[in-house]
């Protein structure tokens, strides 16, 4: 496998270290991109070329447009007073801190179909409510993040399931998509990291497990001082989406302007997946943006105000899009330099059937954290992990095979879940309007606890079921 050796790790490592040291994610990623292009021998003009190439991909365009549509919807929700009205209705139930955290957890489970929409939706909807309950933005972004990718990877009717199962077709005894999807379903109970991550949110939110580490400090600040953000924090969202007042003179209609649009998104996404075998998430948001635009004008909001609201929504998305562009650039640089291949080559010497699920999980987790991409990790690890597992099982689907399949999925989700370079981590910070590095710092200890528990579980599987 081609790679540039240890040099291939330097850009990702530099980005992560600088993020924590400087607390300025944009500058850190820019420095990492520039250093990486120099190390790759691309010269001083390598950085503009890298940015142009990474931002010109369909993957980046999809995430960017989805984020823009979501930001426009958020602006519409606020302009119609829908979010404010929803917050008041929830506040009337007097849920308390535990209740608000558990409602946030349930909302994340509800919008399982998109790991991009989920953190933005949960953070945006619950932000005002959690602020009133004196819950730190760090805690809200953690809940939103932990119910996005970890949930999506467990459900068979998502793009994650289709993508992961597609990587298994043609390997061992898996000859078609139906058998591959069956393998995905069998692997769900072995996807320990995703299961533990989702369950851990419930344990933390319900108070059965007390906050610890940096999160405890953040929660104490919010409760004692009423500061949901630390002094000097830089929320990853434009002021256009945090300081927008509702339109005066119109009636607040929570169902029409909030609940119905959300139900439309869910129904279109799930319905198209069932009928077309592809969740048309982008089309769902476009349809709802058009619906809301017409609905707002029919409710008496002038066309000029509707256009200005949509423009403010786009402006509010700029900080996130900028960070996503740089994160995608680091990911592209890692692929060019062979970062993932280098990590795999280091671990191959330790392989054995008993340790295989554990080692695969660790490799996938490190790779995804370093590169910030779970799907890229899947594409590299799955073609290596499954043939190795089938080699030990005489091409039969056994617990070892399902555990290895799940280990790739869970390890990739770990990186997607907590890497500062990951798009879902960025979107979670944006949805909760939290400081990005504060979100990463407070979430990482919780993610590491779940990863450690998953590692132990894979060791048990390897030694007891192989």
Mean pLDDT of the region 2-7: 79
Counting residues of the chain whose pLDDT is more than 90, the rounded percentage is 27
Say what the pLDDT of residue 239 is: 55
Residue whose structure tokens are 């058998």? 179
Q: How many CB atoms lie within 10 A of CB 145?
A: 36
CA 291 remoteness from chain centre: 27
- C-alpha distances (whole Å) from 415 to each of 150, 297, 323, 420 are 11, 43, 17, 9
More confident position, 140 or 178: 140
CA distance 420 to 318: 18
- What pLDDT is attached to residue 242? 52
Residues of the domain holding 101: 5-464
Contact, 368 vs 374, CB < 8 A?
A: yes
pLDDT, tens digit (0-9, with 9 covering 90-100), for 243-298: 566 777 788 888 888 889 888 988 887 788 778 877 687 888 899 999 999 999 99
Q: Alpha helices, DSSP H only, in 255-337?
A: 260-276, 281-298, 303-337
Both tokens assigned to 343: 């990590």
Q: Which residue would you say has higher pLDDT here, 178 or 222?
A: 222
235: β partners: 435
The DSSP code sequence of 69-108 is HHHHHHHHHHHTTHHHHHHHHHHTT--HHHHHHHHHHHHH
Distance CA 271, CA 302 (A): 33
How far is the C-alpha of 219 from the C-alpha of 101, rounded, in Å?
12
CB contact set of 70 (below 8 Å; sequence gap of 6+)? 116, 117, 120, 121, 285, 317
At 348 the pLDDT is: 65
The confidence score (pLDDT) of residue 237 equals 67
pLDDT of amino acid 344: 66
Which pLDDT belongs to residue 243? 55
Question: 356-392 pLDDT, tens per residue?
Answer: 899 999 988 988 888 777 877 787 778 778 888 887 8
Residue 258: DSSP 8-state: I
C-alpha torsion 267→270→273→274, nearest 10: -90
Q: Which residues, 6 or more positions from 21, have their beta carbon under 8 angstroms from its beta carbon?
A: none
Cα distances (Å, whole numbers) of residue 125 to 66, 428, 433: 17, 12, 11
Q: What is the tens place of the pLDDT at every residue in 116-140? A: 778 878 888 888 889 888 999 999 9
Lowest-pLDDT choice from 53-67, 140-154, 233-247, 270-284? 233-247
Count of domains for the chain: 1
Contacts 24+ apart (CB under 8 A), 449-454: 449/200, 450/193, 450/196, 450/197, 450/200, 450/414, 451/193, 451/365, 451/414, 453/192, 453/196, 454/192, 454/193, 454/196, 454/361, 454/410, 454/414
Instruction: With H, G, I as helix, E, B as strand and everything else as coil, classify residue 435.
Output: strand
pTM value is: 0.79
- pLDDT of 396-438, one tens digit each? 888 888 999 999 999 999 987 888 878 788 888 888 888 988 9
238 has pLDDT over 60: no
Residues 6+ apart with CB under 8 A from 45: none
């Amino acid at each position: 496998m081609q790679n540039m050796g240890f040099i291939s790790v330097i850009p990702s490592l530099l980005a992560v270290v600088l993020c924590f040291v400087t607390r300025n994610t944009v500058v850190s990623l820019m420095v990492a991109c520039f250093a990486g292009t120099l190390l790759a021998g691309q010269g001083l003009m390598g950085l503009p070329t890298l940015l142009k190439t990474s931002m010109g991909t369909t993957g980046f365009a999809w995430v960017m447009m989805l984020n823009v549509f979501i930001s426009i919807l958020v602006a519409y929700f606020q302009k119609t007073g829908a979010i404010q009205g929803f917050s008041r209705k929830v506040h009337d139930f007097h849920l308390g801190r535990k209740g608000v955290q558990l409602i946030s957890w349930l909302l994340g489970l509800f919008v399982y179909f998109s790991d991009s929409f989920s953190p933005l939706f949960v953070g945006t909807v619950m932000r005002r409510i959690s602020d009133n309950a004196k819950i730190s933005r760090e805690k809200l972004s953690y809940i939103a993040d932990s119910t996005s990718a970890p949930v999506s990877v467990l459900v068979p009717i998502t793009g994650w399931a289709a993508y992961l199962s597609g990587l298994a077709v043609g390997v061992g005894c898996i000859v078609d998509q139906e058998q591959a999807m069956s393998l995905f379903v069998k692997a769900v109970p072995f996807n320990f990291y995703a299961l533990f991550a989702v369950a851990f949110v419930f344990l933390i939110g319900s108070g059965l497990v007390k906050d610890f580490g940096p999160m405890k400090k953040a929660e104490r600040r919010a409760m004692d001082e009423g500061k949901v953000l630390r002094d000097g924090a830089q929320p990853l969202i434009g002021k256009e989406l945090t300081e927008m007042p509702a339109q005066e003179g119109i009636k607040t209609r929570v169902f029409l302007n909030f609940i119905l649009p959300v139900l439309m998104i869910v129904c279109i996404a799930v319905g198209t997946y069932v009928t077309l075998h592809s969740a048309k998430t982008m089309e769902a948001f476009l349809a709802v943006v058009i619906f809301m635009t017409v609905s707002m004008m029919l409710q008496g909001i002038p066309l000029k105000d509707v256009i200005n609201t949509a423009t403010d929504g786009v402006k509010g998305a700029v900080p996130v899009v900028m960070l996503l562009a740089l994160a995608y650039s680091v990911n592209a640089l890692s692929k060019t330099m062979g970062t993932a291949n280098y990590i795999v080559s280091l671990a191959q010497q330790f392989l054995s059937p008993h340790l295989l699920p554990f080692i695969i999980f660790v490799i996938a987790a490190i790779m995804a954290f370093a590169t910030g991409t779970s799907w890229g990790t899947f594409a590299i690890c799955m073609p290596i992990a499954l043939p190795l597992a089938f080699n030990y099982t005489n091409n039969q689907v056994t617990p070892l095979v399902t555990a290895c399949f799940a280990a790739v999925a869970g390890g990739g989700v770990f990186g997607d879940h907590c890497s500062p370079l990951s798009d879902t981590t960025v979107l979670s910070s944006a949805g909760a309007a939290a400081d990005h590095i504060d979100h990463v710092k407070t979430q990482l200890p919780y993610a590491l606890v779940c990863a450690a528990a998953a590692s132990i579980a894979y060791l048990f599987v390897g030694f007891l079921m192989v």
